[in-house]
Each structure stands twice: as C-alpha cells, then as structure tokens.
C-alpha cells in the first residue's frame, strides 16, 4: 500500500536460541503486476545471520495485514447490541498517503454479520484489492468470532488527482437470511473465487479468545514455512510505516 520511497529502520531483539523474523514489504498498488517486486533489505548484526526469501501465501499475508491494522488503525464500532451495548461489528481503518486499509471484526459468539462497503461514488483514481475490474463496492458476511481484510484501496500514482470517500451499511443476519446467502453464493460479492490465488487474502479468519489480540499466524499444513510468533511478527509490522529518508 505504501508509496514509492518508503523505508523502515528498526532493531530486532534476539535470545539465546534461534529467532526468526518475517519482513513483509506491502505494496498493494502492484498486487496484480506480473513484474517481480523490488525492495532492498539490509541487515547488520554482531552475530551470524541467515537471510532468505521465502514464499508467503495470501492467507498469511492477510493475517499479517489484519494484525497491523488492528494494532495501529482507528477502531470504529459500527453495530452495537441495544440492550448490552456490546459491539456486534467493529471496523478498523488505517490510512496514509498511499491509500486505505479496512478490516472488519465480528466479535459475536453466534451471530453472522453482513457488511457493505461502497466507495464507488466518491472515490477517484484508487484501485481495490477486491477486484481486477475496478469495482469499489463489496458485500461480505462475517461468521461469528472472525476478522476479515475487507479491502485495500491504493492510490493510482500515475494520476495527479485523488479523492477518497465511502459509505458503510451493516446488519446482523437472521438464520433464514444466512441460509439464503449461503445457498445463493452471496457470502462475498464480488466473489473471492474471482481473485484466484489472492482469494485467501480476503477470507474471514478466526479470532483468538481475546478479541483484542492479533490473529494467529500459522503456516498451512504441508507448507515448509516455519512456525512464526505473532508477537515477533507484529513487532515488525507495527513499524511498517513510511519514514523520512535519513
């Protein structure tokens, strides 16, 4: 998502055992580009360090972005229970000059929530991670106790003028409405299937028991990626903000 020229400098802690970190350069404006990503990583250490490029699937990338936005984004309750005042749907917004990331959270134990995010009328010269056809409108159903990366809107840096505006509507689904949506294939519109290998980027992910904690980052079965500590990963991701050049 971040614009060209962004850079990060940070100190990584280590212990007496092998410590692994995963650095994820985020550049959603080039999400569907066929050209390889270009970035520079410099590591300075008094001890031997092994650095390698590893493949990361879209599900792990989505979990990392969710962790970043939940940690640093603006938290906005959208739906609340009128009797208990407990949140039924919470949105997190993380915005900078390069765009906007939106994460939705359904903390309900047994309710599914439908969210419509519409940036089609008031947004100019932005691209969406949800659609290769330029659609800026999406409707999603979040199952109980889940979080979802709703969309990433990236500024088209080839254009000089940018405008960003959006509308939101949400409601708790009855069992009948949920059943109808499942039968009609309308849990996610546009369909996540259309995103091919990027579908996992926007799939709802289960929350941990503590709703304030970041989602677990566990490599899929059969994937040789190492098991990664979410605390270590969050430490890196929380610093992935553009910094002025030295």
List, for residues 172-208, the tens digit of each pLDDT value: 999 999 999 888 778 999 999 888 888 999 999 999 7
Q: Please say if the pLDDT value at position 67 is more than 70.
A: yes
Region 26-45: mean pLDDT is 74
**Range with the poorest average pLDDT among 41-50, 93-102, 119-128, 159-168:** 41-50
Residue closest to 23 by CA, chosen among 7, 5, 46: 7
- Asked if residues 66 and 103 have their Cβ atoms less than 8 Å apart, the reply is yes
Residue closest to 84 by CA, chosen among 47, 121, 111: 111
Full-model pTM: 0.77
Predicted pLDDT of residue 94: 94
For the chain, give every domain's residue range.
Answer: 1-246
Q: Please say if the pLDDT value at position 225 is more than 90.
A: no
Predicted pLDDT of residue 104: 98
Predicted pLDDT of residue 226: 38
Residue closest to 215 by CA, chosen among 234, 192, 201, 236: 234
Structure tokens at 231: 């605390």
Predicted pLDDT of residue 221: 39
Residue indicated by tokens 């089609």:
120
């Amino acid at each position: 998502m971040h614009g060209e020229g962004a850079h990060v400098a940070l100190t990584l802690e280590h212990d007496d055992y092998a410590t692994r970190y995963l650095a994820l350069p985020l550049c959603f404006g080039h999400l569907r580009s066929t050209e390889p990503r270009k970035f520079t990583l410099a590591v300075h250490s008094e001890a031997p360090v092994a650095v390698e490029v590893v493949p990361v699937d879209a599900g792990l990338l989505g979990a990392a972005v969710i962790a970043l936005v939940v940690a640093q984004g603006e938290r906005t309750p959208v739906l609340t229970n009128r009797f208990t005042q407990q949140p039924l749907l919470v949105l997190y917004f993380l915005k900078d000059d390069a765009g906007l990331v939106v994460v939705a959270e359904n903390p309900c134990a047994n309710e599914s929530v439908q969210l419509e995010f519409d940036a089609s009328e008031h947004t100019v010269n932005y691209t969406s991670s949800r659609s290769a056809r330029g659609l800026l409108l999406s409707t999603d159903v979040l199952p109980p106790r889940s979080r979802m990366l709703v969309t990433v809107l990236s500024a088209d840096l080839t254009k000089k003028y940018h405008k960003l505006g959006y509308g939101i509507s949400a409601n708790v689904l009855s069992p009948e409405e949920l059943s109808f949506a499942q039968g009609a294939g309308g849990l996610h519109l546009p369909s996540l299937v259309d995103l091919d290998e990027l579908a996992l980027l926007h799939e709802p992910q289960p929350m941990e028991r503590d709703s304030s904690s970041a989602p677990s980052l566990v490599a899929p079965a059969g994937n040789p990626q190492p098991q990664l500590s979410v605390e270590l990963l969050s430490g890196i991701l929380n610093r992935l903000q553009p910094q002025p050049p030295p």
